Amino acid sequence: MGRKVLPQYGDVDPVTGLYSKTAFLSILSDQFQDSLQPFPRAILSMEFDDLSRFNESFGYEIDDLLLQKLAARLRTCLRNELFAKAGTYRFAIATDYHEEKRLKRLAETIVTALREPFNIEGTMFYITVTIGIAVVTESVVSAKMLLKHAESAMKQLQKDGTNHIGFFTPTDEKHLMTELKLLKDIPGAIDRGEFYLLYQPQFYADKGCYAGAEVLIRWQHPQFGEISPERFIPLAEKSGMIVPLTVFILIETAKMFKKLDTVGMRHFTLSVNVPASVLLEQSFLETVAFVQQMYGLPKGRVIFEIMEETIPENMDGFVTLLKRLKEMGMGIAIDDFGTGHTSLHYLMRFPADVLKVDRSFVRNIHTDKKLFLLFRAINDMAKALHMKIVAEGVEERKEAEIIKSFGGIVVQGYYYSKPIDADALFALVQQACKGDL
Ligand code: C2E
Ligand code: CA
Ligand code: CA
């Protein structure tokens, strides 16, 4: 296929001896321009599912050995395809196959070859892989674009979690273009006032009064309409825009406190979602102090919700940060509790005031005995650690009744109210009860 020899392109992955992503793209870029020998005609992007758990449990040496063995086994499935290590646990294959049937067969051969476990120093490792495939079309203008398409197909499969092999489709292309546009639009959208906040009330189940609300952001995009935070928050995180966005949310929250005070709701708390990555940004705490000074973030009434899943495992520095936040009068909640990796030991040292129990423990608590027992265990544990519980996602009266029976729990969910704007909140909540959330 007239490929150039490697040294010209430098870059080789030291562990597997495979081409790096840079070398891979560099080789392909040359051949992409060659009208006599156009190559590649398709790229397969593959990632091994959850491989990082092996290096967490067995260390980097095993990780390296495993990658070497993986590369060797993959090679047995290939003819003369160009093969590269395109990320930590990601490989890429460029091929001159372009018929869907042949490409699918190649991917299936790989999936089958990996089914056999890997024996490394007596331990058996079982690997699964996800493979995204992109075929050259008229709109594909570079090797980089083709690889991006294959990776995007792969990521979509990982998200769906049903199939291990899939092709990049025009819908994916449209989705990718929208994603790119949204990413580009975020900075200007803050200035243009396209982001706004809604509030979802939090209710003391047994006292029968409102404790506060969770602040939830919305984006009214001029072209695409309302976009869910589940879509744009990850994009903002990826692009670094999450920091200015969080500062915007804090300032708007501070303004909301002023309004709450005007209508006499002086005990009402507001919980703000703050990703751990933002807290770890240098000088973020100074920014919080600045907002507090300039706009007012009343002590004891702001709660920072940090998603359990994002809390760093190396906790020392993080705990120091949280303690400083608490000194500034902010409360800390662990969000989506039960979905992440927090161990009991970790929890004991974690200076949280609130556990927000994920809705997967709440939904159907009235019919599922196991859920009930789990919730009871979490409640006992929270009490022992002097933490409050907020139960999320309460949708049914029967769920609410069970949770109320535990006593002292704050509930949030569609059963009480959907997220609403400030005026609707004032209309709903005449008076906040004196709580210690
Ligand atoms: P979250 O922090 O777990 O927020 C709760 C989500 O559950 C909200 O979705 C809320 O509308 C929804 N919800 C509330 N009650 C119920 C219920 O009874 N049933 C069901 N099925 N859902 C319920 P929303 O507003 O779409 O936000 C989704 C996620 O986006 C949030 O999950 C949070 O992770 C993120 N998010 C939202 N606003 C912000 C923000 O201001 N900053 C950051 N960093 N993330 C935000
Ligand atoms: Ca939250
Ligand atoms: Ca949550």
Flag whether pLDDT at 150 surpasses 60: yes
Rounded CA gap, 148 and 55, in Å? 27
What integer pLDDT is reported at residue 10 of this predicted model? 52
Taking only the tens place, the pLDDT of each residue in 197-207 is 999 999 998 88
Between 433 and 75, the higher pLDDT residue: 75
Question: Ligand nearest 413 Cα, by number?
Answer: 1
| Encoded amino acid at 146, one letter | L
CA contacts within 13 A on the Cβ side of 250: 30
Question: Ligand nearest 271 Cα, by number?
Answer: 2
Q: What is the pTM of this model?
A: 0.74
Relative to beta strand 209-221, strand 225-227 is antiparallel
Whose CA is closest to atom 32 on ligand 1? Answer: 230
Residue whose token pair is 């706009």: 295
Would you give the end-to-end CA distance of the chain in angstroms? 68
Question: Ligand nearest 333 Cα, by number?
Answer: 2
Atom of ligand 1 at shortest range from CA of 272 = 41
Residue whose token pair is 């020392």: 316
Among 273, 281, 390, 416, residue to substitute to test ligand 1 (most atoms within 8 Å of Cβ):
273
Ligand 1 pocket member 216 (CB < 6 A): yes
Residues 6+ apart with CB under 8 A from 257: 270, 296, 297, 298, 301
Q: Is 253 helix (H, G, I), strand (E, B) or coil?
A: helix
User: Within the chain, what is the greatest distance between any pair of CA atoms?
Assistant: 78
Flag whether pLDDT at 7 surpasses 60: no
Mean pLDDT of 335-350: 83
What are the residues whose beta carbon lies below 5 Å from ligand 2 (ion)?
Answer: 273, 305, 335
Atom of ligand 1 at shortest range from CA of 229 = 30
Q: How close is the Cα of 202 to the center of ligand 3, in Å? A: 12
- Residues of the chain with pLDDT > 90, as a percent, come to 64
Mean pLDDT of 300-312: 93
Residue whose token pair is 């940090």: 306
Flag whether pLDDT at 8 surpasses 60: no
What integer pLDDT is reported at residue 432 of this predicted model? 64
Flag whether pLDDT at 6 surpasses 50: no
Indicate the pLDDT class of residue 393, thresholds 50, 70 and 90.
very high
Ligand 1 pocket member 333 (CB < 6 A): no
Ligand 1 pocket member 247 (CB < 6 A): no
Mean pLDDT of 215-222: 97
- Is-contact 28 40, C-beta < 8 A? yes
Among 186, 216, 233, residue to substitute to test ligand 1 (most atoms within 8 Å of Cβ):
216
Flag whether pLDDT at 321 surpasses 70: yes
- b/e map 62-99, b = 16+ CB within 10 Å: bbebbbebbbeebeebeeebbbbbbeebbbbbbbbbee
Q: Which of 225-239, 287-301, 391-405, 421-435 has the lowest mean pLDDT?
A: 421-435
Q: 180-433: which CATH number, 3.40.50.10810, 3.40.50.740, 3.40.50.720, 3.20.20.450?
A: 3.20.20.450
Ligand 1 pocket member 419 (CB < 6 A): yes
Q: How close is the Cα of 336 to the center of ligand 3, in Å? A: 4
Mean pLDDT of 379-398: 95
Flag whether pLDDT at 55 surpasses 90: no
| Encoded amino acid at 97, one letter | Y
What integer pLDDT is reported at residue 16 of this predicted model? 92
| CATH class of the domain defined by 19-168 | alpha beta
Ligand 1 pocket member 393 (CB < 6 A): yes
CA contacts within 13 A on the Cβ side of 266: 2
- Is-contact 48 89, C-beta < 8 A? yes
Indicate the pLDDT class of residue 4, thresholds 50, 70 and 90.
very low
Whose CA is closest to atom 14 on ligand 1? Answer: 413
Structure tokens at 318: 């993080």
Mean pLDDT of 287-310: 96
Q: How close is the Cα of 416 to the center of ligand 1, in Å? A: 15
Mean pLDDT of 169-191: 88
Residue spans of the domains in the chain: they are 19-168, 180-433
Q: How close is the Cα of 194 to the center of ligand 3, in Å? A: 24
| 19-168 and 180-433 have identical folds | no
